[in-house]
Structure 1
Amino acid sequence: MAYEWPVDPHDLFLERYPQMVNTGVAAADADAMRAAITDMWPDRPGGWVYEWSRLAAGYAASGAHLRAATAYGWAKFPTLADAAKRAAQTAQVAQYLLAAPDFGIAFERRSIAIPRRGEQIDLPVHLLTPPGWTAADPVLLASGGVDSWKMDLHNLFVATALRTGLRVLAFDIPGTGETTVPMSVDGYGVIGALIETARGLGSGKVAHLGISMGGYYSARSGLAGDVDAAVVLGGPVEQSFAADRTWAFGMRGIIGNALGFDHEPTDTELSQHMSGFGLRELLDRDRNAPMLVINGADDVHVPQHDTLVFEGRRDTETILLPDAGHCGGAKLPQAMGIIMDWLAAAELR
């Protein structure tokens, strides 16, 4: 199930330009796409998916496969709402695998069987293993959010693996990417199964890095003590799920798609589906793993409360970066530096 919704591509460039250049798009390419794109959905000249795919195809033809995968990642952004977006993701996977021999880090694409409501889903994940890592070392679960997925954040995850020495298991959260079940409150079962898988891939110690909506899941795993350490970057945990919240930069439609709607939901429908996501019950407990909770102070999607609510908890550090947007925005490199240092110093070995 999927649907398109009214969204101005210029608004997306306004918000996402820093993310583009901080996750692997050359500034000249981002500028060219901003100038060329006039519509969000049509698969024709001037359309988002058309122009980004055209850029990607040029890189693929020249053998620049990782750049091609990055461009195809933006072609399918922000969600797989139609056939053209799904085709772009298929092309992204193909180019990403062609690029793998040059990652500079050991790479494996693996399918993990996840039990789900009496059935089984096969979940593609990526293992990024730094030099010197052994089975006596910890594993880091890592994911993006509702519109930036495991391949889109490749450079961040590789840098994290190399700097921390942790093996990274990268995945897409429910409702996104190659994960075939919609986002829901009980979708945390997918995360729980991944945690158990990760324990068997290394020493048994597991940390969890979640970015944006992925931070909701890492906040949940950290608060529940299901992992040995948790990092929350721009994660919604409580006020983000309030019934009277507002949506900016197309996020309403992105969330609706992740939840599995086949039409643009009303405020009431969205509220009904998200009312159970809040983590107040876990926040009221005192059993969390060591946690780092960080975000930009000027986030338009996640209120400051959802970071500051962690202040004063044991084994927890909270940081709001001044003059920074969602997940740090233009200060994403600074945020990731803080995260990598924290993970490197965590007592995981």
Structure 2
Amino acid sequence: MPYQWPLDASDLFGERYPQMINTGLPAGDVDAVRAAVTEMWADAPGGWVHEWSKLAATYADAGAHERAALAYGWAKFPTLADESKRVALAKQLEQYRLAAPGFGVRFERYVLELPYRGDTTSVPVHLLAPFDLAADRPVVLASGGVDSWKMDVHGLMVLLATRLRSRVLVFDIAGTGESTVPMTGAGGAEMVTGLIEHARSLGNGVVAHMGISMGGYFSARSGLGGEVDAAVVLGGPVEAAFTDARKDAFGMDGILGNAMGFDAPPTPEQLVAGRAEFSLRPLLDQDRNSPMLVVNGADDVHVPQHDTLVFRGRRDTVVDLVPDTGHCAVSKLPEVFPTIIGWLDRTLTAITETDR
């Protein structure tokens, strides 16, 4: 079962504020919730889930379903550690589906049975595509990270679909969101392999993989292994984040512990052992990679610069360590995301033309 752990709500607002407003919520509304929240876990006035859900309900009552989905997304943040968080996720999905007619793109939701550690697991996915999309277009497989999931990054996914004129297949990585299995390196990668195979059947067979934060770990893995035709890694940990002896910031030890399937706070030794299997050093030592774009903020408190800079000098790889911004360059997303879209457009166009 998931677990709670000591977590300072005010610290989370300090770190995540740019993400809250850059993904679609008005700053004034975020400021009001920030002023009202006094503790993390209480499902009562002053509690994180209560105050965010109160804002979300206001949006829902006004028919602003997409904003309601975003606010419920923050209510369940950063992990489903108790029943109130699970209720918030269910309400987020309800509001997201109500918002779908206004997305401006075609929206499908369905469930895939994918391989996971010698068995299978059910994985709900969202498929976004322009209404008049031609059949012979590439597909972009995409996910958020360990605490910001597929509905939380919806606006970015719509941008990918509309600007690239492509289908975007969005999922939650293992151990997060609607996933029912723990986050492991090999097991999570098996899921991704199954998703890539499915994505190849949806368009012209060309598939790119974009991952954000911990999702970037999996896109780095599929890109380094040459499983996809192109890969974008936005703020992804690949090596030092799993092996450096350092203290996690802003509750990340509890977020990861929950995702990895612990039912109580792990000891430092358990967390180190669990993280060790994620290191991508074996793939980094090989020369199998697809074209890759690796981006992060220079001031990331979660992912050391090494995990971006280690890609410098690789064949067919572009590296961008963005100054004066933090994890996933989130405070500069309005500048960074057009760069990502431009790179994907050029790369996928070149691949498609070569295949012809």
Paired position in structure 2 for 1:234: 235
Cα distance in 2 for residues equivalent to 1:118 and 1:232: 27
Tell me if structure 1 keeps the 8 A contact 2:145–2:216.
yes
CA distance in 2, matches of 1:320, 1:182: 30
Q: Distance in 2 between matches of 1:348 and 1:142?
A: 19
**Separation in 1 of the partners of 2:116 and 2:268?**
28
Q: Which residue of 2 aligns with 1:317?
A: 318
In 1, Cα distance between the equivalents of 2:116 and 2:265? Answer: 26
Comparing 238-247 with 19-28, which one deviates more in the overlay?
238-247
Taking the aligned partners of 1:151 and 1:145, their CA distance within structure 2 comes to: 11
Aligned residue identity for 1:339: I
Q: Which amino acid aligns with 1:218?
A: S
User: Which secondary structure does the structure 2 equivalent of 1:310 belong to?
Assistant: coil
Is 1:65 the counterpart of 2:65? The answer is yes
TM-superposed CA distance for 1:159, in Å, is 0.9
Q: Structure 2 CA distance, aligned partners of 1:151 and 1:104?
A: 15
Asked whether the 8 Å contact 1:76–1:85 carries over to 2, the reply is yes
SS at structure 1 position matched to 2:286: coil
Q: Secondary structure at the match of 1:210?
A: strand
Question: Hey, what's the Cα distance between the residues in 1 that align with 2:234 and 2:336?
Answer: 8
1:344 aligns with 2:345: yes
Deviates more, 1:114-123 or 1:131-140: 114-123
Which residue matches 1:104? 104
Verify: 1:170 aligned to 2:183, yes or no: no
String of CA shifts for 1:303-347, please: whole Å, max 9, x gaps.
000000000001000000010100003112212111011111113
- For 1:95, the equivalent position in structure 2 comes to 95
Any conservation in 2 of the 1:128–1:168 contact (CA below 8 Å)? yes
RMSD: 0.9
Q: Distance in 2 between matches of 1:202 and 1:189?
A: 21
In 1: Cα distance, 2:143 partner to 2:216 partner: 8
1:1-349 map, 5 Å: 1-186=1-186, 187-242=188-243, 244-346=245-347, 347-349=350-352
Please state how far the C-alpha of 1:155 moved relative to its aligned partner. Answer: 0.4
| Structure 2 CA distance for aligned equivalents of residues 237 and 117 of structure 1 | 21
The 3-state SS of whatever aligns with 1:124 is strand
Q: CA deviation at 1:93?
A: 0.3
**Rounded Cα–Cα distance in structure 2 between residues aligned with 1:278 and 1:199:** 27
Percent identity over the alignment is 62
Give the number of equivalent residue pairs: 349
Preserved CA contact (<8 Å) 1:165 1:344: no
Shift of 1:124: 0.5
TM-score by length of 1: 0.98
Letter in 2 for 1:65: H
Aligned AA (2:337): M
Read off the aligned partner of 1:54 and give its amino acid letter: K
Residues in 2 aligned to 1:160 and 1:108: alpha-carbon distance in whole angstroms:
16
1: distance between equivalents of 2:321 and 2:117? 38
Amino acid at match of 2:280: L
1:243–1:271 contact (8 Å) kept in structure 2: no
Q: CA deviation at 1:243?
A: 5.1
> What amino acid does structure 2 have at the position aligned with 1:159?
L
The alpha-carbon deviation at position 164 of structure 1 amounts to 1.2
Q: Say whether the 8 Å CA contact 2:233–2:295 is kept in structure 1.
A: yes
Range that drifts further, 100-109 or 242-251: 242-251
- Displacement of 1:245: 2.5
CA separation of 1:37 and 1:341: change in aligned 2, threshold 3 A: same
- Single out whichever of 302-311 and 185-194 deviates more from structure 2: 185-194
Deviation per CA, 1:40-60: give whole Å up to 9, x if none: 000000000000001111111
Deviation at 1:119, TM superposition (A): 3.2
**Contact 1:100/1:107 (8 A) holds in 2:** yes
CA distance in 2, matches of 1:90, 1:245: 35
- TM-score (normalised: structure 2): 0.96
Note the alpha carbon deviations across 1:184-210, whole angstroms, 9 max, x for none: 122210011000010111111100000
Structure 2 segments unaligned to the other structure (5+ residues): none
Q: Which letter maps to 2:302?
A: H
Counterpart CA distance in 1 for 2:216 and 2:185 is 14
